[in-house]
Structures are given as C-alpha cells and as structure tokens.
Amino acid sequence: MKNLYRPIESVIEDIKKETHNITTYRFRPKEPISFKAGQFVELTVPGVGEAPFTPSSNPAVTETMEITIMRVGCVTEALEKMKVGDTVGIRGPYGNAYNLEDFDDKNIVIVGGGVGLAPLRSLILALFENVEKYKRISIRYGARTPMDIVYADALPEWEKYPNVDVHLTIDEPYPGWQGTVGVVTVLLEDLPLLTTANVDDLPFTVENAVACVCGPPIMLKFVNMALLEKGFDPNQIYHSMERNMSCGLGKCGHCMMGEYYICKDGAVMTAAQVAKFEDPF
Ligand SMILES: Cc1cc2nc3c(=O)[nH]c(=O)nc-3n(C[C@H](O)[C@H](O)[C@H](O)COP(=O)(O)OP(=O)(O)OC[C@H]3O[C@@H](n4cnc5c(N)ncnc54)[C@H](O)[C@@H]3O)c2cc1C
Ligand code: FES
C-alpha cells in the first residue's frame, strides 16, 4: 500500500517563469503520482521545509507534474533558487477532488484570481479531455496587471475549443491594455439570471451551471456574493479553500474550520458547506 507520508523524490525538469513572482515547475517524480483535479500535494524543499500546492497540470499525466507557484516566503523563495536537475520531495495527493461526473452537460464557470488560476488549470485541462461533454466552459480570470497574467500563451489556445470562452480583466488601467478593467467580479456581470431551462440559443443558464472559484480570500468572498446574486445555488459553487495547512492529512488541526478539516473535507468545498461560518474565506 502507498505510504502517503513519504515524499517521493522528484527532479525539476523544467522551469517556466510566468510573471515576476510566479513560476511553473515541471517535476519528474521517481514514481508516477496520480491525482484528481482539485487535490493537492505537499512539496518539500530539502533542508528548508514543505508547503501545500495544487498541481496545475493535466491529471491524466502521471509521469510528470506541473505546479505553478507564487513566491511569498520561505519554501517558495528557496524553490525559486533551485535549478533544473535539482530534487524536491512530493507527498500526496491529499484532499478531495471535483466530482466531474456532476459537471456533465453543464455550463461550467471557472473564476480565477492571480495565481488562483493555477489550481484551476488542472481542472480546465481535465475538462478539455472530454470537452464535448460540457455545454459551455467559461473561464473568467483577473490579474493585477497585464504582466501578472499567468499562462498568457495558453489562454488563446484554450479559446479555440468551440464551447470554451476566456475573459480577462486587470485591476486598474494600464498603458496599452485595451481589455476589461476592474476586479474579477466585473466579468460576472454578463452572466444572465435565467429561469427557463433548455434555452439552447442563449449562451448560459444558471440553473444548469456550476462555478469553480480559486483566488485570494477577498476575491472568494466577493465572487461568492456575486454568484449568489446571479442566482447560483450555494451547492453549485465550488471554492478552493487554501487555508492554513500543515500536515495535509487530518492530523495536526491547523486547517480546522468548525467540524471540517479543510485538508480532508476540502480543499474543494461548496458555498453551501461554508455558508454557516462567519468568515469562511
Ligand atoms: C490546498 C492548497 C493549495 C495551494 N496551492 C497553491 C498553488 O497552486 N500555487 C501557489 O502559489 N500557492 C498555493 N498555495 C499557497 C501556498 O501553500 C503558500 O503560498 C505557501 O505555503 C507559502 O509557503 P512559504 O514557505 O513560501 O511562505 P511562508 O514562509 O509560510 O509565508 C511567508 C509569508 O507569506 C504569507 N503568505 C503565505 N501564503 C501566501 C499566499 N498564498 N499569498 C500571499 N501571502 C502569503 C504568509 O502570511 C507569510 O507572511 C496553496 C495552499 C493550499 C492550502
Ligand atoms: S493540515 Fe493538518 S489537519 Fe489539516
């Protein structure tokens, strides 16, 4: 049986700078690591420490794993100093995953903020594996400035699928930027509140939709409010709850929120699950 505590030695195979403080690393673990979209891993930088991250690569690929990481502190700074050929440890996967069977034939709205698009990328790539199963996949992404946009070269490729659209916004006007300006909730304004089912000539029906959200806590709060206002049921909204985690295994209690261990009951949780907490995000 697999020992989930044991970090698997993983060699850094590729390093791609996304922005000034966000980098995508491709790791090649000594043993394949299987995960489902939404699950996370603990990454160890030897001699420094470990931190939780959600893979950003396609879950169908187990020989390598990509993780997109923002430099914020100890582990992420140490990782940024590492080079191709260096070794880290990866243990996991942990936590729950998106139940993709529930997404069949639905409008899927994916809302990311900043590096929050990274965990959603593995979901997006998993959905693309069977893209025809979904009515529409609508990706709404907000970054601080044009230079803070991650996967800038992949976004136009994603839009080539007939039932996929990608909308971007940046927080404030920026020289040369001709797209939308404003926080990511401005990209939700066009989601119509429709109550009639089976309206095929309209792009979107809320009652046949799910929303998957990942980003900084303040963004989750306002996106949650906006989606509820648009008529989403709290059971249709999935948040990535990236709260304080340590062991990742339900042992240390760092991640507890009421009766939930976010590392085991999450990190993907519905707005319905977290609604009773005063400040869930
Ligand atoms: C389930 C889960 C999935 C995650 N997935 C990703 C991912 O895919 N990509 C990614 O970049 N991060 C992700 N994170 C966040 C990541 O775990 C933290 O950024 C990381 O633990 C920071 O470790 P560190 O040692 O570098 O920083 P630390 O030394 O622990 O922290 C340094 C300082 O940075 C602050 N800080 C910590 N995290 C953040 C943050 N996210 N944003 C802003 N300030 C912060 C701390 O409050 C502290 O002041 C995820 C977290 C969880 C729980
Ligand atoms: S992170 Fe230790 S119990 Fe959840």
* pLDDT score at 192: 58
- Whether the pLDDT of residue 208 is over 80: the answer is yes
Same domain for 235 and 106: yes
- Ligand with the closest atom to the CA of 264: 2
pLDDT at 203: 56
What spacing in Å lies between the alpha carbon of 72 and ligand 1's midpoint?
Answer: 6
Q: How confident is the model at residue 202 (pLDDT cuts 50, 70, 90)?
A: low
Residue with the larger pLDDT of the pair 4 and 258? 258
Mean pLDDT of 62-80: 97
Indicate whether residue 250 lines ligand 2 (CB < 6 A). Answer: yes
Report the CATH number that the domain containing residue 105 is assigned in CATH. 3.40.50.80
Residue 244 CA to ligand 1 center (angstroms) comes to 8
Q: Ligand 2 within 6 A of 263 CB?
A: yes
Identify the pLDDT of residue 198: 41
Which of 105-109, 165-169, 243-247 is predicted with the least confidence, judged by mean pLDDT?
A: 243-247
Q: Write the residue with the smallest CA distance to atom 3 of ligand 2.
A: 250
Looking at the structure, do residues 43 and 72 belong to the same domain, yes or no? yes
Find the mean pLDDT for residues 157-163.
92
65 and 112 both lie in a single domain = no
Is 52 a member of any domain?
Answer: yes
CATH number at residue 76: 2.40.30.10
Is residue 105 located within the same domain as residue 89? Answer: no
Residue 153 inside a domain? The answer is yes
Q: Judge whether 260 lies within some domain.
A: no
Confidence of residue 278 (pLDDT cuts 50, 70, 90): confident
Boundary of a domain, candidates 94, 119, 134: 94
Q: Indicate whether residue 255 lines ligand 2 (CB < 6 A).
A: yes
Final residue in a domain of this structure, among 94, 119, 141: 94
Same domain, 143 and 190: yes
- Mean pLDDT in residue range 108-114: 96
Residue nearest to atom 4 of ligand 1 (CA): 53
Structure tokens that stand for 26 in this block: 């491709």
Is 205 a member of any domain? yes
Q: What is the pTM for the complete model shown?
A: 0.93
Token pair 């926080």 in the structure block, residue? 183
Residue nearest to ligand 1 atom 7, measured at CA? 53
Widest CA span in the chain: 58
Average pLDDT estimate for 18-32: 97
Q: Report the percentage of the chain scoring pLDDT > 90.
A: 83
Q: Is 251 in the pocket of ligand 2 (CB under 6 A)?
A: yes
Whether 265 maps to a domain, the answer reads no
SS (H, E, C) the chain: CCCCCCCEEEEEEEEEECCCCEEEEEEEECCCCCCCCCCEEEEEECCCEEEEECCCCCCCCCCCEEEEEECCCHHHHHHHCCCCCCEEEEEEEECCCCCHHHHCCCEEEEEEEHHHHHHHHHHHHHHHHCHHHCCEEEEEEEECCHHHCCCCCCHHHHCCCCCEEEEEEECCCCCCCCCEECCHHHHHCCCCCCCCCCCCCCCCCHHHEEEEEECCHHHHHHHHHHHHHCCCCHHHEEEECCCCCCCCCCCCCCCEECCEEHHHHCCEEEHHHHCCCCCCC
Residue 59, token pair as written in the block: 């879950």
190 domain-assigned: yes
Indicate if 210 and 135 belong to the same structural domain. yes
CA 163 / ligand 1 centre spacing (Å) = 33
**Number of separate domains in the chain:** 2
164 lines ligand 2 (CB under 6 A): no
- State mean pLDDT over 253-258: 93
CA dist 124 and 75 (Å) reads 27
Q: Are residues 69 and 135 in the same domain?
A: no
Q: How many CB atoms lie within 10 A of CB 241?
A: 24
- Cβ atoms < 10 Å from Cβ of 60: 12
Residues in the chain: 281
Residue tagged 């992404």 (tokens): 141
Q: Which residue has the higher pLDDT, 279 or 214?
A: 214
* Position in ligand 1 atom list of the atom nearest CA 40: 1
Q: How far apart, in Å, do the first and last CA atoms of the chain sit?
A: 35
DSSP-derived pairing of the beta strands 22-29 and 65-70: antiparallel
> Are 118 and 24 in the same domain?
no
Lowest mean pLDDT among 87-101, 181-195, 216-230: 181-195
Close Cβ partners of 63 (under 8 Å, ≥ 6 residues apart): 28, 29, 32
Q: Is 225 in the pocket of ligand 1 (CB under 6 A)?
A: no
Q: Which two tokens stand for residue 216?
A: 């900084």
Local confidence band at 168 (pLDDT 50, 70, 90 cut-offs): very high
115 CB within 6 A, ligand 1: yes
pLDDT(76) > 90: yes
Considering the domain architecture, whether residues 108 and 233 belong to the same structural domain is answered as yes
One domain for residues 200 and 166? yes
Q: Which atom of ligand 2 is nearest to the CA of 252?
A: 2
Residue 12 belongs to what domain range? 8-94
Give the pLDDT band of residue 191 (cuts 50, 70, 90).
Answer: confident
Is 254 part of any domain? no
What mean pLDDT value characterizes the chain?
92
Interatomic CA distance for residues 44 and 92, integer angstroms = 11
Q: Is the pLDDT of residue 57 over 90?
A: yes
Q: Residue 107 Cα, ligand 1 centroid: separation in angstroms?
A: 30
pLDDT value at residue 95: 96
- Closest ligand 1 atom number to CA of residue 76: 26
pLDDT for 5: 83
pLDDT at position 189: 86
Domain boundary among 94, 117, 142: 94
Instruction: Tell whether 122 and 84 lie within a shared domain.
Output: no
How far is residue 153's CA from residue 180's CA, in Å, rounded to a whole number?
18
Nearest ligand (C-alpha, residue 113):
1
The answer to whether the beta carbons of residues 252 and 246 sit under 8 Å apart is yes
Same-domain check for residues 104 and 188? yes
Is residue 94 in contact with ligand 2, taking CB distance under 6 Å?
Answer: no
How does residue 92 score in pLDDT terms, banded at 50, 70 and 90?
Answer: very high
* pLDDT-derived band at 204, boundaries 50, 70, 90: low
Residue 201 has pLDDT above 80, yes or no: no
For residue 272, tell me if it sits in a domain: no
On the CB side of 81, how many CA atoms lie within 13 Å of its CA?
Answer: 8
